[in-house]
């Protein structure tokens, strides 16, 4: 974590301590232990983060809380993408697409038995079809694992009131460990298959180029089949790279838009309106020393919520008077929300995030479960 992140978190903690013990909203689980104010220094015990989140995480060490928020958003985006990617329609389309490649390969290998290429392009087509089959098997295994996990979670939720808590928790932990181990093996195999596909593409490209006009003359159908397969792979590779770049730029420059899109697509799966109404709400006022305005510094003046809860004033240093989501400084009169972990954001920025994911985007503190994390 950078020094700027630590200073911002420490100053936020100091302001919270000066405000008194009623900083935490009532009816929300109280936070235990330290580390909530340190900008997310606690370790995340979840699965290995995606590459985009890793890059943003490294940038977070240089840019502080704003990049920590973007790393969290990248993880959330990757999770949503994985859930969507293994939905039934997408899996069915993926399987049919790869099965079509296998079918075309088999048919072409049969009807071109009279062709005699000067390079082992027939072997390359067989290898390409085999990789498609391996991909189909791995996708199906992961889809079945995720479906079984969803069913298991639903059953555990339905039986929660009828099963002993400790037994239910122990069974859930054992099932989660087994599911995670299987997922790791599947992902590792998929990574190996992807790397093998890349190397095999290079081999195929070399054989097509080295075959040249002779290959085209002796085995025209095999030649064009290999060219089509190579072209498809290049197209999808370029598409994925461009999409990843666009997502990375959007995360860094327009995170509120990403949150709005995620909320519109995924719907409300986090905090409810009743949960949000309990959170302390503030109005930001810029501090002025006589006739001189202190640039950036301000005070968070509490606004009474629907639950009747009224927090204490909070003083903000210039480096803290900024929303880590939209990267804009607080203007005079801006509406803010503070979480039980004492991190604060624009109300319009944080509400959609919490409705989608009930955790602080900085420290991953769960506002519904207290010290637990999603």
For the stretch 287-304, pLDDT in tens is 776 555 555 678 888 887
**pLDDT confidence tier of residue 64, bands split at 50, 70 and 90:** low
Residue-wise pLDDT for 37-47, tens only, equals 333 333 344 44
> How many CA within 13 A on the CB side of residue 357?
23
pLDDT at 40: 36
b/e for 231-268, b at 16 or more Cβ within 10 A? Answer: eebeeeeeeeeeeeeebeebbbeebbebbbebbeebee
249-255 contacts, C-beta under 8 A, 24 or more apart: 251/52, 251/56, 251/70, 251/73, 251/74, 251/77, 252/56, 252/70, 255/69, 255/70, 255/73, 255/325, 255/326, 255/327
Q: Which residue has the higher pLDDT, 224 or 66?
A: 224
Percent of the chain's residues with pLDDT above 90: 26
Rounded Cα distance, 188 and 119, in Å:
32
Q: Which residue has the higher pLDDT, 21 or 84?
A: 84
Residue-wise pLDDT for 102-160, tens only, equals 999 999 999 999 999 999 999 999 999 999 999 999 999 988 888 888 777 667 666 65
Average of per-residue pLDDT values in the chain: 74
Element (H, E) at 303: strand 292-303
Q: Where do the domains of the chain lie?
A: 84-255
How confident is the model over 307-334, as a mean pLDDT?
A: 78
Q: Which residue has the higher pLDDT, 40 or 222?
A: 222
Residue-wise pLDDT for 235-283, tens only, equals 999 998 998 888 778 777 777 777 777 666 665 567 778 888 888 888 8
Alpha helices in the chain (DSSP H): 3-19, 51-63, 65-85, 88-111, 121-158, 165-218, 220-253, 255-266, 273-278, 347-356
288 close to 312: Cβ distance less than 8 angstroms: no
């Amino acid at each position: 974590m950078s020094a700027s992140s630590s200073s911002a978190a420490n100053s936020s903690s100091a302001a919270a301590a000066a405000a008194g013990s009623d900083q935490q909203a009532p009816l929300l689980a109280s936070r235990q232990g330290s580390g909530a104010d340190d900008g997310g220094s606690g370790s995340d015990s979840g699965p290995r983060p995606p590459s985009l989140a890793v890059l943003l995480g490294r940038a977070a060490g240089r840019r502080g809380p704003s990049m920590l928020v973007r790393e969290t958003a990248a993880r959330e985006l990757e999770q949503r993408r994985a859930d969507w990617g293994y939905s039934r329609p997408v899996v069915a389309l993926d399987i049919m697409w790869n099965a079509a490649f296998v079918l075309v390969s088999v048919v072409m290998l049969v009807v071109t038995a009279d062709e005699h290429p000067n390079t082992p392009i027939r072997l390359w087509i067989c290898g390409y079809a085999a990789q498609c089959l391996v991909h189909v098997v791995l996708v199906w295994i992961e889809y079945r694992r995720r479906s079984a996990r969803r069913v298991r979670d639903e059953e555990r939720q339905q039986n929660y009131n009828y099963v002993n808590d400790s037994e239910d928790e122990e069974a859930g932990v054992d099932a989660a460990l087994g599911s995670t181990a299987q997922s790791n093996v599947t992902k590792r195999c998929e990574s190996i298959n992807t790397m093998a596909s890349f190397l095999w593409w290079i081999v195929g490209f070399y054989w097509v180029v080295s075959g040249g006009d002779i290959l085209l003359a002796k085995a025209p159908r095999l030649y064009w089949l290999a060219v089509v397969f190579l072209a498809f792979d290049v197209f999808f590779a370029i598409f994925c790279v461009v999409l990843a770049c666009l997502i990375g730029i959007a995360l860094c420059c327009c995170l509120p838009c990403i949150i709005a899109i995620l909320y519109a697509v995924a719907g409300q799966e986090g905090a409810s309106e009743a949960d949000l109404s309990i959170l302390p709400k503030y109005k930001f006022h810029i501090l002025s020393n006589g006739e001189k305005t202190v640039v950036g510094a301000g005070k968070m003046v509490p606004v009474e919520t629907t639950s009747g809860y009224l927090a204490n004033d909070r003083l903000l240093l210039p480096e803290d008077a900024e929303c880590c989501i939209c990267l804009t400084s607080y203007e005079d009169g801006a509406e803010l929300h503070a979480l039980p972990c004492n991190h604060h954001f624009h109300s319009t920025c944080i509400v959609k995030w919490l409705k989608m994911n009930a955790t602080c985007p900085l420290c991953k503190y769960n506002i519904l479960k207290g010290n637990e994390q999603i």
